[in-house]
Amino acid sequence: MVSREEVEQANKKATERMMESEPMWVDVVRADEALRLKEKTLLHAGPPVRWEDASGPLRGALIGASIYEGWAKDEVEATKALSRGEITFEPTHHHACVGPMAGVISPSMYLFAVRDRKNTLEAFSNMNEGIGKVLRYGAFDKDVITRLKWLEEVFAPVLKSTVRRIVKEKKGLNVKQLISKALTMGDECHNRYIATTSLFVREIARYAVEVSGKKEASQVLRFLEENNFATLNLGMAAAKCMALAAHGIEMSTIVTVMSRNGTESGIWVSSLGERWFTFKAPVPRGLFFPGYSQEDANPDIGDSAITETAGFGGFAMAAAPAITSWVGGSVEQAIEITKKMYEITFTEHRYFQIPYLEFRGTPCGIDIRKVLKTGVTPIINTGIAHKKAGVGQIGAGTVEFPFEPFKDAFKTYLENYR
């Protein structure tokens, strides 16, 4: 049986690798080329799920992606193909990839490619559409498909040329530094990305103008100006790189994936490979757009809890008092959430710091042992999707990750290392 000292050393190694990871934005790539997807295969957030068990927003996003790809002409055709297995879908995390909310990625979509220059690791995420009636929240009408085509045909090519110029000049854009700065400027880098996106635009604007036509560059910069969540996906890809650096450490009890598919929530643990430990996804509570209420909310969904896994997002809410106007609660509650997360994490982040807490490092490295000991589970801030396919986003809030996956993971850990 492993000793406590051995586990502590393993967890120190995992969290050191997580903190010292250097995720750099280095390219924009097509999903089919980067991920070698099988024909008519889509990716989705969270643990594996069958079509018959899929939630409304996930179904809506899969339907929309099928129409976008030209595999189906409408909802009826797409539903038939998906239910018969003619169009298949797999978890994003099985491909070193992450996507917010439904997280659906299709072959023609362009992805942010983020490379950890400290380790031989790479992670990907798709492009952010904005908020409201968008694919990731399960909407799939004509406007949604038109926006996806614009991202493919205009937005992605400009960013691709831009980042390649940045790589040529300074080897890429350091996303970890963007997050670190933004945490001192009022973001927590999950549901508030105002500072991060502003920093991102400042970093890329000159290059975008230099490498693109005036019209295209203007469109792209205007889209970034109007979409504060534009860098959410980039931050998630960086967090995935950080988590990958901590994964696969023998004897470690550190969580390296937390994700939800709208039906189940699931985790991975560093020393337990790519085995999912899952339980029924809880329903978030928060603030709703006009005309919607708690009764309309779908159970929690998305890969974006990779941010909390890497030590920011909901774990850094004390850095972002204004987030309460988006997800609900009070400033005092936001601060208490961060303080509570120190009880279940292995260390404090060396580079992600919170000014209000005297620049204390964010809680970093969820330890399944501490979750079991305290009964405290990770608190995530999140968007809220309507439970029916096709509607889209209806609000934002917070949710507590279920306890059972941590309990099951620890049981398996003991079986492996007893």
Three-state secondary structure along 383-415? EEEECCCCCCEEEEEEEECCCHHHHHHHHHHHH
Check residue 8 and give its pLDDT: 97
pLDDT in tens, the chain (418 residues): 789 999 999 999 999 999 999 999 999 999 999 998 888 999 999 999 999 999 999 999 999 999 999 999 999 999 999 999 999 999 999 999 999 999 999 999 999 999 999 998 999 999 999 988 999 999 999 999 999 999 999 999 999 999 999 999 999 999 999 999 999 999 999 999 999 999 999 999 999 999 988 899 999 999 999 999 999 999 999 999 999 999 999 999 999 999 999 999 999 999 999 999 999 999 999 999 999 999 999 999 999 999 999 999 999 999 999 999 889 889 999 999 999 999 999 999 999 999 999 999 999 999 999 999 999 999 999 999 999 999 999 999 999 999 999 999 999 999 999 8
User: How far from 168 is each of 163, 171, 173, 289, 330, CA to CA, in Å?
Assistant: 8, 6, 11, 44, 45
User: How far from 311 is each of 66, 143, 263, 288, CA to CA, in Å?
Assistant: 34, 35, 25, 27
Check residue 213 and give its pLDDT: 82
Adjacent-strand bridge partners of 413? none
Among 3.40.50.510, 3.90.1700.10, 3.40.50.1010, 2.130.10.10, what is the CATH number of 248-417? 3.90.1700.10
DSSP state of 355: G
Adjacent-strand bridge partners of 127? none
- With a threshold of 0.85, does the pTM exceed it? yes
Chain Cα centroid distance, residue 138: 16
Q: Are 129 and 109 in contact (CB under 8 A)?
A: no
Check residue 97 and give its pLDDT: 98
* Domain 22-234 listed as CATH 3.20.20.60: no
Q: Maximum Cα–Cα distance for the chain, whole Å?
A: 64
Write down the domain spans for the chain.
22-234, 248-417
Q: 325 by DSSP, 3-state: which?
A: helix
